[in-house]
Amino acid sequence: DARADKNSLKLDVNVFKEKIVHHLRCTIGTSEKKASKLAWWQALVATANELIFDRLTQTQYTHATKDTRAVHYLSAEFLMGRLTVNNLVSLEVYNTAKSALQELGIDINELCEEETDMALGNGGLGRLAACFMDSLATLAYPSVGYGIHYENGLFRQEIREGRQIERPDSWREYGCPWEVCRPESVQEVPIGGFVETQTAPDGSIRKVWHPEHMIKGVPWDIPVVGFRGASVTILRLWESRPTESFNWDVFNAGGYVDAQNEKAAVETISKVLYPNDSTEAGKMLRLTQQYFFSSCSLRDILRRYNRTHFHDYGEFAKKIAIQLNDTHPVIAIPELMRLLVDEEGISWDAAWEIVTEVFSYTNHTLLPEALEKWPVYIFEKLLPRHLEIIYEINYRFLNEVVEAKWSGDDEKKRKLSIIEEGPCKMVRMANLAVIASRKINGVAEIHSKLVRENLFPEFSTLWPDRFCNVTNGVTPRRWMLACNPGLAELYNEIAGKDWPLHLDSCAALRPYADDPQIQKRFMDIKFKNKVALAAEIKKLCGVEVDPHAMFDVQIKRLHEYKRQHLNLLYILHLYRKLLADPAMRIVPQVFIFGAKAAPAYTLAKNIIYAINVIGDKINNDYRIRNQLKVVFMPNYRVSLAEKIIPAADISEQISTAGYEASGTSNMKFSMNGALTLGTMDGANIEIVAEAGVENNFIFGMSVKDVQELKAKGYNPWDFYNSNQDLRAVVDWLDSDFFTEDRQALASIKHSLLEGGDPYMVLADFASYCAAHKRAEEMYADKARWAHAAIMNSASMGKFSSDRSIEDYVHNIWKLKNYEIKDEI
Ligand code: 26Y
């Protein structure tokens, strides 16, 4: 097995076996005879933890003795997925563990399936944070990830009669063996209350915050194992608990807590990932979450700094970098000002200099609905002192900076102000982030350009040097080595065994792209992965699919801008053609979907329903002779992605140009030899630049085309009326051919016509069909396809998250890494 053939930790199979059995008996409290699979898995984790904690201690010792500069990655989401295979691979004991378990009569794969995903995130942004943790540990940069210890992660999705049902995700109901509670690092965070203005005899003014409540923050540490044990860093997640002084009345008055006691009210703060924010109570809760974890993290950073610097903040900005993952932790900016000015007694100017040196902000979206704004009245209730600080930051910014540049221009001031005026005054978190950050980055070239030109044009005129790009990346350890051992073995042979650390070296496969033997080897690996996925599809969906068919995959959150319905319209188009001409032969195709919809997003849920009922109809229609299958795989998550991606032929990346900031699954698919069917959006542009446009299927409007069509006035009816095929499939949605619930499908048609088709699905339909046809034709030419698949896989060096992290390090964080010695 390519995943672990060198055991640098000198653990042989017998020793490993003894350790597992020891932990089974002495840590888990059972025996070989009685143990359940879960118990065996726990014993396996306990064995791995022996190695992990050793290395963690060595890492922390090195960093402490060198008083290193470190980055602190603040993120409301970390989508870690499962850790077992990755940690064993990174520790180079995977094969040892596998053999040891085999001798004990246990299949390691079955044990690894026992682990529940850590789904503490929604999608791309959360998984990016997890890939970055892997790279930081692998490159041995001093770093800590900070987030929230949600009791329930993203909901588990069940499909009942084609519809999404949300179920709670109790990922640690019976404990998570990777995490360690650190009571010695507990924090207390104030909230609510009022601010008193005190005037000293000399006339100077002092602000004193009298908070209403204190919330306890309990840290849970998840060790992150770098590849080959380069270093072990931590992800520190904060859990909220009540302190004695807590009074739950005010929380309860918000209405989001039905619970009858104080305990439940406070524990609600870290209970769920992003509860619905459509109600006022939900809003208060989310801002509370953001403040809670940001404040706990800053206090933790200050505590560690002061262990060696004794409240002398002269070195603070030299030792500390803080990265804000989107606007979710931006409340950390006024909180650090408050801690420095109010609690540490530093002058405003000195504190502002520190703050503007340490923070940087990553933007992940241009969608207006995702740019956070909080009503001022919520700030008044929860964070009255922070509101004052924000007003002060804003006052100085408008009167010093904006006034100097655009003297007397009130329109500019209105636009750049942190406060949005109107019937409900709002705090614009993105403006606050830009004003206080040293660097602001987008996540792909085109996105960073749009951040500069469309989102923050005045700010980028004011501070051109603050804006930069860091194109996203993904960890090849999880997304190639661990999830695709067949491909990993091929790269071991062709590129040498260090390719997971130097992904550029995979280019060594490119010269073989037309070599028939290598093509066969490459496509055999793909076929084996497709056979395995076919079995999973049978298990989860009850549908029989042929692994020889072209596997066309779209897996991502369900959003109109991602256009799953464009894909669906094409499926309807193919189906219609097959019904019209029963003798027609097409390239057999399996369309595979996975997607969760936000619980309150009705149209998104209707699209899921449509995929399911249309799939059901097609899969059971004997007339099309199994040439077409459509499956919706329930509960899409990291561990399911690891099974689907290595088996994909086509990677659907079909967002309306300008809307997908980067995408990251697009990189994972290409690495694993899928061809991209996509628009010129996000990182697709950079992917095809590396892998060759001729080896992928690009279609649709460019960002410029979209802008121009919008400017001239987009009318979806024009496309509907002038394209027979399009008209037929759109009308098909408003029929009872697929379901009794005609309304559900008709709502999709409605959004595409009366709704104005906000993401221009109809405008790109013809171009999409043409691109798909090109893909089908190429798939029929096995050698041409193999060439393209190899070229994609072998050209993804740029998209290792190690490269992204090096970009952050050199352009933003300015860190040094240190070899972690094998001693303490
Ligand atoms: C404010 C709240 C409702 C909210 C919660 C989560 C807003 C946004 C998000 C998540 C955004 C997200 O996942 N964005 C994705 O980030 C990826 C990593 O940079 C990108 O690849 C992807 O294009 C982008 O949609």
Say whether 798 is catalytic: no
Q: Is 662 touching ligand 1 by the criterion CB < 6 Å?
A: yes
The question of whether 364 is a catalytic residue gets the answer yes
Residue nearest to atom 6 of ligand 1 (CA): 122
**How many Å is the maximal CA-CA distance in the chain?**
96
Distances (CA, A) of 95 to 5, 109, 341, 510: 7, 12, 54, 29
114: left (phi over 0), alpha (psi -120 to 50) or beta: alpha
Give the model's confidence band at 8: pLDDT under 50 very low, under 70 low, under 90 confident, else very high. Answer: very low
Residues in CB range of 304: below 8 A, 6 or more apart? none
Does the Cβ of 125 fall within 6 Å of ligand 1?
yes
- Atom 1, ligand 1: residue with shortest CA distance: 370
Reduced to 3 states (helix: H, G, I; strand: E, B; else coil), residue 777 is: helix
- Single out the catalytic residue among 62, 84, 664, 679: 664
- Show Cβ contacts of residue 742 under 8 Å, excluding neighbours closer than 6 positions: 734, 735, 736
CA dihedral 567, 573, 575, 578 (to 10 degrees): -140
Assigned fold of 67-82+117-157+176-472+807-813 = Rossmann fold (3.40.50)
Ligand 1 close to Cβ of residue 661 (< 6 A): yes
Q: Which of 214, 210, 220 is nearest to 189 (CA)?
A: 214
What pLDDT band is residue 368 in, cutting at 50, 70 and 90?
confident
Query: How far apart, in Å, are the Cα atoms of 403 and each of 60, 393, 395, 477?
Result: 47, 14, 11, 50
The mean pLDDT of 63-68, rounded to a whole number, is 93
Model confidence pLDDT, tens digit, residues 385-422: 999 999 999 999 999 999 999 999 999 999 999 999 99
Look up residue 318 and give its two tokens. 């030299």
Both structure tokens of 733: 């949605």
- 263: confidence class by pLDDT, cuts 50, 70, 90: confident
Q: How far is the CA of 721 from the centre of ligand 1 (A)?
A: 35
Alpha-carbon distance 278 to 54, whole Å? 46
Q: Mind listing the pLDDT tens digit for each residue in 809-823? A: 999 999 999 999 886
Best of 364, 447, 801 for a ligand 1 pocket test (most atoms within 8 Å of beta carbon): 364
SS3 of residue 304 by DSSP: helix
The per-residue DSSP string of 439-506 comes to EEEESSHHHHHHIIIIISHHHHHH-GGGEEE----B-HIIIIIIT-HHHHHHHHHHH-TTTTT-GGGG
Gap between the Cα atoms of 660 and 653, Å rounded: 9
Quote the CA–CA distance of 635 and 740 in Å, as a whole number.
25
Contact 298, 333 (CB under 8 A): no
Inter-residue contact 558 to 601 (CB < 8 Å): yes
Alpha carbons 765 and 726: distance in angstroms, whole number: 7
CA quadruple 355, 356, 358, 359: dihedral positive or negative?
A: positive
The number of residues making up the chain comes to 824
The 3-class SS string of 88-148 reads HHHCCCHHHHHHHHHHCCCCHHHHHCCCCCEEECCCHHHHHHHHHHHHHHHCCCCEEEEEE
Q: What digits encode the pLDDT tens for the residues 295-329?
A: 999 999 999 999 999 999 999 999 999 999 999 99
DSSP string, 495-533: H-TTTTT-GGGGGGGGGGTT-HHHHHHHHHHHHHHHHHH
Radius of gyration of the chain (CA): 27
Q: Is 664 in the pocket of ligand 1 (CB under 6 A)?
A: yes
Q: Are 349 and 313 in contact (CB under 8 A)?
A: no
Distances in Å between the Cα of 357 and the Cα atoms of 318, 320, 363 are 9, 9, 18
Strand pairing of 675-678 and 650-653? parallel
Q: Report pLDDT for 259.
A: 44
- Confirm or reject: Cβ of 431 under 6 Å from ligand 1: no
pLDDT of residue 2: 57
Q: Where are the domains of the chain?
A: 67-82+117-157+176-472+807-813, 478-698+764-797
Pick the catalytic residue from 299, 386, 526, 556: 556
What residue's CA is closest to ligand 1, atom 3?
Answer: 370
The answer to which of 162-166, 249-253, 464-468, 688-692 has the lowest mean pLDDT is 249-253
The token pair that represents 803 in the structure block:
């490269």
Rounded to a whole number, what is the distance in angstroms from the first to the last CA of the chain? Answer: 33
Residue of 125, 287, 665 with the most ligand 1 atoms within 8 Å of its CB, for mutation:
125
Which residue among 156, 172, 271, 562 is the active-site one? Answer: 562
The answer to whether the CB of 128 is under 6 A from ligand 1 is yes
Q: Ligand 1 centre and the CA of 353: distance in Å?
A: 30
Look at residue 277 and tell me whether its pLDDT is greater than 60: no
pLDDT at 255 over 80: no
Q: Which of 820, 671, 668, 817 is nearest to 136 (CA)?
A: 817
Whether the pLDDT of residue 98 is over 60: the answer is yes
Candidate list 72, 172, 286, 668, residue with the active-site label: 668
Q: 79 in ligand 1 pocket by Cβ < 6 Å?
A: no
Question: What's CA 501's distance to the chain center, in Å?
Answer: 22
Q: If pLDDT is split at 50, 70 and 90, which confidence band does 824 have?
A: low
Pull the structure tokens for residue 63: 């960093």
Ligand 1 geometric centre to CA of 364 (Å): 5
Find the 365 Cα to ligand 1 centroid distance in Å. Answer: 6
Question: The tokens of 505 are what?
Answer: 């070296």
560-584: average pLDDT: 97
How is 348-382 classified by DSSP, letter by letter?
HHHHHHHHHHHEEEE-----GGGS-EEEHHHHHHH
**How many C-beta atoms lie closer than 10 Å to residue 397's C-beta?**
20
Between the CA of 595 and the centroid of ligand 1 the distance, in Å, is 15
Q: Whose CA is nearest to atom 12 of ligand 1?
A: 125
Give distance in angstroms: CA of 74 to centre of ligand 1: 14
Whether residue 162 contacts residue 109, with contact meaning beta carbons closer than 8 Å, is answered with no
Going by pLDDT thresholds of 50, 70 and 90, the confidence category of residue 274 is confident
Q: How many angstroms is it from 499 CA to the middle of ligand 1?
A: 29
What is the rounded CA–CA span in Å between residue 813 and residue 358? 9
For tokens 């505590």, name the residue. Answer: 303
Q: Is 660 in the pocket of ligand 1 (CB under 6 A)?
A: yes
Q: How far apart are CA 176 and CA 732, in angstroms?
A: 48
Residue 121 CA: nearest ligand 1 atom is: 6
Residues 6+ apart with CB under 8 A from 294: 74, 329, 331, 332, 335
Structure tokens at 428: 């614009």
Nearest to 230 by CA among 143, 137, 130: 137
| Alpha carbon distances (Å) from 467 to 363, 442, 452, 662 | 11, 8, 7, 17
Q: What Å distances lie between residue 113 and 64, 108, 207, 229, 448, CA to CA? A: 37, 9, 55, 24, 39
Residue with tokens 């050793």: 54
With CA atoms as reference, report the closest residue to 629 among 534, 770, 736: 534
| Best mutation site among 365, 445, 667 for ligand 1 pocket (most ligand atoms within 8 Å of CB) | 365
In this prediction, residue 740 carries a pLDDT of: 86
Cα separation, 82 vs 638, whole angstroms = 8
Instruction: Please report, rounded to a whole number, the percentage of residues in the chain having pLDDT higher than 90.
Output: 93
Q: What is the DSSP annotation of 601-667? A: -HHHHHHHHHHHHHHHHHHT-GGGTTSEEEEE-SS--HHHHHHHGGG-SEEEE-PPTTS-S--SHHH
pLDDT of residue 5 exceeding 80, the answer is no
Q: Is residue 668 annotated as a catalytic residue, yes or no?
A: yes
72 is catalytic: no
DSSP 700: S
User: Cα(102)–Cα(527) distance, rounded to whole angstroms?
Assistant: 26
CA atoms within a 13 Å half-sphere pointing along the CA-CB vector of 70? 24
ipTM beyond cut 0.85:
yes
pTM: 0.96
Q: Which residue has the tokens 């100085």?
A: 396
Please give the distance, rounded to the nearest whole angstrom, from the Cα atom of residue 379 to the centre of ligand 1.
24
Structure tokens at 708: 């121009």
Rounded to the nearest angstrom, the distance between the alpha carbon of 125 and the centre of ligand 1 is 5
SS3 (DSSP) at 548: coil
Q: Read off the pLDDT of residues 722-741 as tens digits, 9 standing for 90 and up.
A: 999 999 999 999 999 999 89
CA of 217 to the centre of ligand 1 (A): 26
Tokens 């993952």 correspond to what residue? Answer: 325
At the topology level, CATH places domain 478-698+764-797 in Rossmann fold (3.40.50)
Is the Cβ–Cβ distance between 295 and 336 less than 8 Å? no
Instruction: Check residue 10 and give its pLDDT.
Output: 58
**Residue burial 653-692, b: 16+ Cβ < 10 Å; e: rest:** bbbbbbbbbbbbbbbbbbbbbbbbbbbbbbbbbbbbebbe
Q: Which of 364, 530, 596, 749 is catalytic?
A: 364
- State which amino acid sits at residue 371: L
